[in-house]
Amino acid sequence: MDFPNGFLWGASTAAHQIEGGNVHSDWWEREWGRVPGAVVETPSGDAADSYHRYGEDMALLADAGLDTYRFSIEWARIEPEDGWISHAAIDHYRRMVDTAIGLGLRPMITLHHFTNPIWFAREGGWHSDAAADRFARYVEAAMPVLEAVDLVCTINEPNMVSVLADPEVGFPSIGLPPGVPAVTDRLIDAHKRAVDIVRGDGCLAGWSVATQAYQPIDGAEQVAAAYGASREDVFLDAARGDDWIGVQAYTRTKIGPEGPLPIPDDAERTLTGWEYFPPAVGDGIRNAWSRAGVPVYVTENGMATADDARRIDYTRGALEAVHACIADGADVRGYLHWSLLDNYEWGSYRPTFGLIAWDRDTFERSPKPSLGWLGEVARANALR
């Protein structure tokens, strides 16, 4: 299965999940019980200390044969207080970009990956009418980081930001809450303003959506369409006219006449409790391509497992689905695995998604066989 010339191969991370010490963010405050929210199993703490060890991490990625690294820059580090910009943080992330390029990696930068400065959260976060203005100000301040970057993701999984925006709704036992309309509108406004800003500097801009592979059983097609409208489709529709759209896919959701159906008892599950279903990425690509009509990058795809051989099996199945979409005419331009490192999965270190393991005490990195396997696929630009 050959992939198109110029197809990008890489891996993704998020700042809060690997950097450590993100003390000015709302997630740090939540982890230590200082703001409302679910009690977490473990605070992020030092995480993987990638704030200091990013060079080693990037070198492992490049040495394996991969050519693209997607990482996020942290708003709470760049603007730790309302209106005050840390030039040291800007310089830090510029050094990260320079390091990636020096290693032959194409950096894809995410401007917002779930976490916010604590001052932004205290003033209402995405519920505030000023949210888009504040985000645009941050993007303007971060532009020096992007001087040598061509691919920019404005907001990671805005649909997850929206469905998590009303803590009083809570999570249903199956499926996701609906998106909060006012928050969705503010996220779309913030995205479009960020696209205009970064395009002005020559970057190609898009955002990444967590596609859920909503699969209706016979007779539940309209139920599935209504269910997916606020949880996925509105965000894909908002990408029309962007330079690209990111698809982030892990599992599927079967939809019956009453809504989401439980995972069958005999289904294989990952360490996050999700159904093992590698073809989910194909559903995500097809929905994104049909609704947004712009080039697609798989910006996240992977499996939380302690069995690295099973990770390879999952990734092979996912890449077969990606290839099938390309064969059917979808303009898919890259595949970025989640995640480069085992990371902090928003409350716990137990779900391991990484191509690289690391020691919690010494931070010593240990590449897994899956990293070498994916690197071989990348070097061949083909799945053998």
Kindly report the average pLDDT of the chain as a whole number: 97
Helix or strand run (H / E) with residue 89: helix 87-102
Q: How far is CA 255 from CA 201, 226, 232, 285, in A?
A: 43, 11, 14, 19
Q: What CATH number belongs to 8-380?
A: 3.20.20.80
Q: How far is CA 287 from CA 160, 203, 217, 277, in A?
A: 17, 25, 17, 17
Number of other CB atoms surrounding residue 137 within 10 Å? 17
pTM tops 0.85:
yes
Helix or strand run (H / E) with residue 15: helix 15-18
Average pLDDT estimate for 29-40: 85
| Helix ranges, 242-307 (H) | 280-292
Backbone angles phi, psi at 208, to 5 degrees: -110, 135
pLDDT digits (tens, 9 = 90+) for 101-152: 999 999 999 999 999 999 999 999 999 999 999 999 999 999 999 999 999 9
- In the chain, pLDDT over 70 holds for what percent of residues? 100
Average pLDDT estimate for 283-299: 98
Average pLDDT estimate for 162-189: 92
Does the pLDDT at position 36 exceed 80? no
Instruction: Look at residue 37 in the predicted model and tell me its pLDDT.
Output: 73
Instruction: Look at residue 119 in the predicted model and tell me its pLDDT.
Output: 98
Beta strands in 103-198 (DSSP E): 106-110, 151-156
Does the pLDDT at position 167 exceed 90? no
Spatial neighbors of 330 by CB under 8 A, at least 6 apart, are 285, 286, 289, 296
Does the pLDDT at position 171 exceed 90? no
| Cβ-contact 289, 331 below 8 angstroms | yes
Q: Which residues pair with 276 in a beta bridge?
A: none
Average pLDDT estimate for 341-363: 97
pLDDT band at 52 (very low <50, low <70, confident <90, very high): very high
Distance of CA 131 to the CA centre of its chain: 21
Does the pLDDT at position 179 exceed 90? yes
Instruction: Look at residue 203 in the predicted model and tell me its pLDDT.
Output: 97
Instruction: Look at residue 186 in the predicted model and tell me its pLDDT.
Output: 98
pLDDT digits (tens, 9 = 90+) for 246-288: 999 999 999 999 999 999 999 999 999 999 999 999 999 999 9
Alpha carbon distance 164, 318 (integer Å): 27
Alpha carbon distance 344, 41 (integer Å): 11
**If you ran DSSP here, which 8-state letter would residue 127 be given?**
G
> For the chain, what are the domain ranges?
8-380
Spatial neighbors of 92 by CB under 8 A, at least 6 apart, are 51, 77
| Cβ-contact 110, 209 below 8 angstroms | no
Number of other CB atoms surrounding residue 189 within 10 Å? 16
